[in-house]
Amino acid sequence: MTKFDEATQAIRVDENTYDVCLDPGYSIGGPLNGGYLMAAVLRAAVDASPFEHPVSTTVQFLRAPVPGPAQVRVEPLKTGKTAAFSRVTLVQDGVAQIEGLITTATLHGAEPIYADKATYEMPPIEQCVKLPDPKPQSGMTLNAQVEVLFDPPTIAWLKGEPTGRPESRAYFRMTEPQDPDPYVLALAVDALPPVVFSAGGRGWAPTVDLTWHLRALPAPGWLTVLGGGRLVADGWFDEEVEVRDSTGRLVAQSRQLARVGRG
């Protein structure tokens, strides 16, 4: 079991309840990363399902849970021949932190009938760069868990030179050797800096609602994460992400609505 598998482990207590222990190693300046939280919730939902994979997930982040014990409550809604539907709630100290709707099914790796090309062609990995190491007091512990190499223009905001467009693009993998799986993809769709940074925004940009789809089981190797947005207005922004595996196959898609941070 890898560190990530252990950090997202859901232990069954009864038919509808799972214990989880939220790991402080996945925080972003204090709050825990939303993709990490989704991965923990998905472990419970898949265990409670007759199907193997979380093909569609919608979560609303009601509050920001803190590291430590929590529970996932799974409410089955319907089970069919090819898919099952459930409602999940992450609860901490008796208070709901995350609410979600999850659809599970079993993917078999069939060849696609149609597959669109990536929305952007990434430069070679050797031309991409890391973010500077965070200061110990920053609380950016997620950085130690993942290896992320960015397309340089999308992190020009670090030098005070944002492109003016909401965008973020990078190669992604876990720091500990681990082939990507659906739970790693849940982390990947929410692991890059908010796209609003490249449009000139700064500060913590909390996700309010996030939906993502598992489109295929990823091949081993680096993932490519391509993020963009369409509108930044009235204190809100959207973020759309596509994730492709090392073969170029589309393996995950997401869309989220978030608040513009205050730098």
pLDDT in tens, 6-53: 999 999 999 999 999 999 999 998 899 999 999 999 999 999 999 999
Per-residue pLDDT band for 263 (boundaries 50, 70, 90) equals low
Weakest mean pLDDT among 28-37, 68-77, 180-189, 247-256: 28-37
Structure tokens at 118: 């990536």
Please give the pLDDT value at position 203.
85
Place of tokens 């490519």: 224
Whether 153 has a pLDDT exceeding 70, the answer reads yes
Please give the pLDDT value at position 204.
85
Tell me if residue 30 falls in helix, strand or coil. coil
Domains and CATH numbers, the chain: 3-107+126-259 (2.40.160.210)
Mean pLDDT of the chain: 96
CA angle 215, 204, 243 (to 5 degrees): 15
List, for residues 73-88, the tens digit of each pLDDT value. Answer: 999 999 999 999 999 9
What are the two backbone dihedrals, phi and then psi, of residue 202, each rounded to the nearest 5 degrees?
-145, 170
Q: How far is CA 54 from CA 3, 83, 212, in A?
A: 21, 10, 10
Question: The pTM is what?
Answer: 0.97
